[in-house]
Structure 1
Amino acid sequence: MDDKDALDGAVIAVAGAAGPAGRATLLRLAEAGATVIGADADVARLAEAVDAARYAHGGSTVTGDTVDLLDQRATQAWADRVEGEFGRIDGLVHLVGGWRGSPTFAETDLADWDLLEKLLIRTVQHTSLAFEGPLKRSDRGRFLLVSAAGASHPTAGNAAYAAAKAAAEAWTLALGDGFRKAGDEQGPAAAATILVVKALVHDAMRAERPQAKFAGFTDVKDLADRIAGVWERPASEVNGTRLWLTEQQ
């Protein structure tokens, strides 16, 4: 089964859809035949991302919702609205990101943690709680978290970032355990999967730093391909797993 078959007619929500990874993912999922609903707090950038995906794939349904994912009620309302309008939800791709770091461990600013806890953990909590029910009801439900290798190998200057990513991974694996327990002898019907990168790179970054090698970085287009590919594999094979897109640490 290729992703065109696996995603044809699927309804996929993308949280954090306005950034470079979100734009690439909207395009890729639309290309595979999915109905795609992007959410972001940045109205203008979200509109640009949605319009780009619509233009590239004229026959696809790509829409955007301005949602504050730090508001649990608003996130739940978004999930309810998507399921009510389209009749099902087959995936939630979590692409909300952010980074803060320091030169040394001693120079860590706990204000960085306050920000990263919201962006990298709270949004995972809200989306997973809101979308768990619809994903369980789907015959191909997938919750996908994009994480960083630093969660497994934290460095002194990345304490807040690595800890936040590790917490988000633990939360996602707990969701996967819930999917496992809700399954039958055939295994879980839905899956929670973590895609691990060192860092992401896109064309604008390369244009700004033409001499940089970005060693070990994952291009956002390659990330989008791997995201789409998760639907090609059985839920039992990808549930509760980390899929490494960079060297495993």
Structure 2
Amino acid sequence: MAADQETNTEPAPGTRTGRGGALDGAVVAVAGAGGPAGRAAVLRLAGAGATVVAADADRERLAEAVAAARSAHGGATVTGDTVDLFDLAATREWAARTEKEFGRIDGLVHLVGGWRGSATFAEADPADWELLEKLLIRTVQHTSLAFHDGLLRSDRGRYLLISASGAAKPTAGNAAYAAAKAAAEAWTLALGDAFRKAGGEEGPRAAAAILVIKALVHDAMRAERPNAKFAGFTDVTELAEAIAGVWDRPAREVNGNRLWLTPGP
């Protein structure tokens, strides 16, 4: 997947872009790096000159994401580690180890996902909530608590949650999913308020923001369903571009905000 859309400015394979932008030299952790969106984000961040610390529960998918980024950007530092984000102590250890090894931590991109739904509201299964609460809420709680202090020490700290428009406008068959996403958003906005208060009169130095999509699409999905339109879906490469772009904006501008990549409700 290309990090840039303009072919006339795309660097040759195996080179690091290192454009001297806001991400050059930054250290960014990506939770859920093994999925299509995580892989695209790791590629884009590495291409922008960031050191990327990738984590995923699936060792094989994580290794593939790390290898792809290293191959595409030969000068980039990209590491991978399996971390149990359901365990707060393990997540704190990951954050502390990252900052100790690289001397700083400038971002956490939260791409841990999952979906469960039903045909009707009456058919909703409480077991879906139990799973989604762990995947979509508890991992946000643990990563935000673990990386909070390190992001405050950074001069460009960013905590980014990827959410869905369904959190603001739930449908009958997505009750558990929408409720979990809404809770994760509320937790992230509370983190943003903590960053605001820590900044005092000068404003926040770090920012917590929510990137809102309808749904994601990637090349494999298009290949499996060649006749599907995927109307309103965000391509994972577009999401990766938006993620990287948050570092180009002042913390005061993005902190505590929902950044819509799809029309709002």
TM-score (norm 1): 0.98
Q: Partner of 1:201 in structure 2?
A: 217
| 2:61 matches 1:45 | yes
Deviations 1:186-243 (A, max 9, x none): 2100000000000000000000000000000000000000000000000000000000
Q: Partner of 1:80 in structure 2?
A: 96
1:4 is displaced (CA, Å) by 4.8
Structure 1: 5+ residue stretches without partners: none
**Which of 35, 46, 52 is the matching residue for 1:30?**
46
Deviations 1:83-132 (A, max 9, x none): 00001000000000000000000000000000000000000000000000
Q: Partner of 1:160 in structure 2?
A: 176
Q: Distance in 2 between matches of 1:104 and 1:193?
A: 32
| 2:131 matches 1:102 | no
SS at match of 1:37: strand
**Which of 228, 244, 261 is the matching residue for 1:228?**
244
Deviations 1:146-200 (A, max 9, x none): 0000000000000000000000000000000000000032210000000000000
SS at match of 1:80: helix
Q: Partner of 2:73 in structure 1?
A: 57
Q: Partner of 1:141 in structure 2?
A: 157
1:3 is displaced (CA, Å) by 7.5
Q: Distance in 2 between matches of 1:22 and 1:4?
A: 23
Q: Partner of 2:127 in structure 1?
A: 111
| 2:136 matches 1:120 | yes
Identical-residue share of aligned pairs (%): 78
SS at match of 1:88: coil
Q: Partner of 2:109 in structure 1?
A: 93
SS at match of 1:21: helix
**Which of 201, 207, 211 is the matching residue for 1:185?**
201
Q: Distance in 2 between matches of 1:70 and 1:185?
A: 36
Structure 2: 5+ residue stretches without partners: 1-17
| 2:263 matches 1:247 | yes
Instruction: Look up the equivalent residue of 1:52 and give its one-letter code.
Output: A
Q: Partner of 1:15 in structure 2?
A: 31
Give the paired residue count.
Answer: 248
CA RMSD after TM alignment? 1.0
SS at match of 1:184: helix
Instruction: Look up the equivalent residue of 1:110 and give its one-letter code.
Output: P
